[in-house]
Amino acid sequence: MNMSHTIPTLLLRNLSDVFGEIDPVRRRAALKELFHEDAVFYDPKQGVYRGHAAIDQIAGAIKATHPDFQYQPIAEPETTGDGGRVKWVSGTPGKAPEYAGTDFIIARDGKIAAVYLFFDPLP
């Protein structure tokens, strides 16, 4: 089933349904729906992850370090051409955010081809 998503939807669902999802079954299902099989995730601290299995593994590892943290977009997603970005903060709901970042994606045919993670100063 080929589902095509808008770039803002891909950005927000990547935060909530992939990197924000603790349940591995739900995370893998979302990953399969939102990412191309050959997608790449660039993490400035951890390195480069290619393909569903590698991205699933790093997303699960990141989530496991802070299971209660949630990503909260702090601005509407922005798009230009086949790219988009969303700025976010992460932390325990109801408390001050612990860290902040920007996800930049390249989309192809309604799915994520690449995600570039940038860490930002806390707003």
CA distance 106 to 7: 8
- Beta pairing partners, 99: 90
pLDDT in tens, 64-121: 999 999 999 999 999 999 999 999 999 999 999 999 999 999 999 999 999 999 999 9
The pLDDT of residue 4 is above 90: no
Q: List the CATH number of the domain containing 103.
A: 3.10.450.50
The pLDDT of residue 1 is above 50: no
Q: Quote the domain boundaries for residue 87.
A: 7-120
- Beta pairing partners, 72: 89
Residue 27 lies in a domain: yes
Residue 1 lies in a domain: no
pLDDT in tens, 21-55: 999 999 999 999 999 999 999 999 989 999 999 99
Which amino acid is residue 32, in one-letter code?
K
Whether pTM > 0.85 for this model: the answer is: yes
Query: CA triplet 81, 71, 9: central angle to 5 degrees?
Result: 35
Count how many domains the chain has.
1
Residue 39 lies in a domain: yes
CA distance 76 to 74: 7
What pLDDT does 123 receive? 83
31: closest CA among 46, 15, 42, 45?
Answer: 15
